[in-house]
Amino acid sequence: MAQIGKGFPEGFLWGGATAANQLEGGFHEGNKGLNIADVLPGGKDRLKILATPGFDFEIHEDKYYYPNHEAIDFYHRYKEDIALFAEMGFKVFRMSIAWTRIFPKGDELEPNEEGLAFYDRVFDELHKHGIEPVVTISHYEMPVHLVKEYGGWRNRKVVTFFERYVTAIFNRYKGKVKYWMTFNEINSGLMMPIMGLGFAIQKEEDKYGPTFQAYHHQFVASAKAVKLCHELMPEAKIGCMIIYAPVYSYDCNPENVMYALEQENIFNYFCADVQVRGEYPAFIKRYFKEHNIELEMEDGDLEIIKEGTVDYIGFSYYMSRTEKKDKSDLEGITGNIMQGVKNPFLKASDWGWEIDPIGLRISLNKLYGRYGVPLFVVENGLGAYDKVEEDGSINDDYRIDYLREHIKQMAEAIEDGVDLMGYTSWGCIDLVSASTGEMSKRYGFIYVDKHDDGSGTLERKKKKSFFWYKKVIDSNGRDLD
């Protein structure tokens, strides 16, 4: 048995991670309203839509297939799925609540009882199996009505609507949920505002003023949620959630090192600085000045942000990013969805995401060194094509290798002194990819018979990694063979 250091602490939170829009389906059931994921098509156009100005947030059934409408039908199959998570020994299950199940349009005054009752059933089922839910309050699931009528998070009114939503779920689920996170990958809005900030860039200058105004509203909304959580559930923990990809300089040219640092500041630290330290960092003030950004704030906003700092940092880690200021002399510059340049020392997944387990140890050390609050790796995993053999088995050794190397680096980081609460690998059951809408980009320990064109029986099958992860959890991360 491969033993790593002293291993993981007692009570380490092993589990898996998902998001409502990527697994539930039932997009019209229980009075649910339309959310952003419901209007994003599958296939190649999704990434294009996310990256190009002018998206209309409409469904065009004549042109596209919408994979999130049925997703993997967790809405009806949650009992079967949770039993499988329990069989693997999950201590926690990361999921999100679809805002549109609770407030279908987003601006109603009263919550939708059917939606609230659905999550009661899910939480009860998890507890029946001894699994604690870890709940993301908003995971790329903003009501489309708020996008169309109000312009998404650019509009201050959305803070009030979000507060109403949060109050409803906190009051309903206090006692059932101990771990919360406010906005999934909050910093992703800097790259893809549609999913995180609820508006499409219409013209170039939207990237500046409106984006940061929307962020200000999210920070206030997040801080209010943190304060309310602490008041209503003093025993609960509430975190922020960011994408973290350490930024490496392409070489030791100070120009490139400085450029990498600037990218790291704005992308990796801006949101976390506000949410963990409770104030806008100095570097962003300079950035605002240089881009003529003046935020509209209400009296008391900065105090709310100061008082609503999070208890921990949840983050996703898939890859690192390598940066060079002047990229004109490099061919095939992009190694990653995170932009940047190709790192010659790393291999990439079939989707071009560079695989860098040591980058996870670096991330843990950097985040812990900067903030000194507990960390929680709430997403990590390999999106890959899986093959079902004739005998029905799925031998995903590549996934096991990926996860093993990342878990080893977490153990190293713990030895380095990092306070790490837990690990929930992404897409513990195959689900719809957020960036491409594909089913064929699979992350799961559990295979779901569903394909990119929507065909399939939805039958669940255990992959080889299912048995491997069970062993990892049983041994508290000591047996990684």
- Backbone angles phi and psi of 247, in degrees to 5: -105, 120
Contact call for residues 242 and 358 (beta carbons, < 8 A): no
Calculate the alpha carbon distances from 240 to 185, 280, 312, 392, 408 in Å. 8, 15, 7, 40, 25
Q: Sort 56 into a burial class: Cβ within 10 Å, 0-12 / 13-18 / 19+.
A: exposed
- Pick the piece of the chain touching ligand BG6 (CB under 6 A) from 101-109, 285-293, 400-408, 434-442: 434-442
Q: Is 150 helix (H, G, I), strand (E, B) or coil?
A: helix
What distances in angstroms separate CA 223 from CA 76, 213, 278, one per listed residue? Answer: 34, 16, 9
Instruction: Name, in order, each residue with C-beta under 8 angstroms of 154's C-beta and a sequence gap of 6 or more.
Output: 197, 199, 210, 213, 214, 217
**Using the rule CB under 6 A, which residue among 123, 212, 426, 447 binds ligand BG6?**
426
| Residue 451 beta carbon to ligand BG6: minimum distance, rounded to whole angstroms | 16
CB 226 within 8 A of CB 304: no
Q: Does 125 bind ligand BG6 (CB under 6 A)?
A: no
Binding string, residues 441-460; x marks residues near ligand BG6 by CB under 6 A: x-------------------
Taking the least distance from each CB to ligand BG6, the nearer of 213 and 316 is: 316
Cα separation, 34 vs 102, in Å, equals 12
Decide if residue 396 touches ligand BG6 (CB under 6 A). no
Give the residue with the Cβ less far from ligand BG6, 95 or 116: 95
Binding mask 323-362 for ligand BG6 (x = CB under 6 A): ----------------------------------------
Among 141, 185, 273, 396, binds ligand BG6 (CB under 6 A): 185
From 125, 132, 379, 438, active-site residue? 379
Closest contact distance (angstroms) between CB of 427 and ligand BG6 is: 6
CA atoms of 90 and 232, how far apart (whole Å): 27
Closest CA to 73 of 136, 129, 22, 140: 22
How many other CB atoms are found less than 10 A from the CB of residue 385? 13
Q: Which x/- pattern, by CB under 6 A, does the window 133-172 give for ligand BG6?
A: ----------------------------------------
355's enclosing H/E stretch is strand 354-355
CB of 399 or CB of 441, closer to ligand BG6: 441
Size of the site for ligand BG6 (CB under 6 A): 13
Interacting residue with ligand BG6 among 89, 308, 383, 422 (CB under 6 A)? 383
C-beta of residue 239 within 8 angstroms of C-beta of residue 271 = no
Pick 136 or 211: Cβ nearer ligand BG6: 136
User: What does the alpha-carbon distance between residue 199 and residue 192 come to, in Å, rounded to a whole number?
Assistant: 9
Closer by beta carbon to ligand BG6, 100 or else 155: 100
Contact (Cβ atoms closer than 8 angstroms) between residue 275 and residue 310: yes
The DSSP bridge pattern shows strands 321-323 and 354-355 to be unpaired
User: Which of 125, 185, 264, 354 does the annotation list as catalytic?
Assistant: 185
**Catalytic residue at 379?**
yes
Mask of contacts with ligand BG6, 7-46, x by CB under 6 A?
------------x--x------------------------
User: Given candidates 100, 138, 184, 424, which one binds ligand BG6 under the rule CB under 6 A?
Assistant: 184
**From 7-15, 104-112, 210-218, 427-435, span contacting ligand BG6 (CB under 6 A):** 427-435
Q: Is 386 in the site for ligand BG6 (CB under 6 A)?
A: no
Taking each helix axis as running N to C, give the angle between helix 464-474 and helix 74-88, from 0 to 180 degrees, rounded to the nearest 10: 50
CB nearer to ligand BG6: give 19 or 98: 19
The mark string for 246-285 relative to ligand BG6 (x by CB under 6 A, - otherwise) is ----------------------------------------
Positions that interact with ligand BG6 (CB under 6 A): 19, 22, 184-185, 316, 379, 383, 426, 433-436, 441
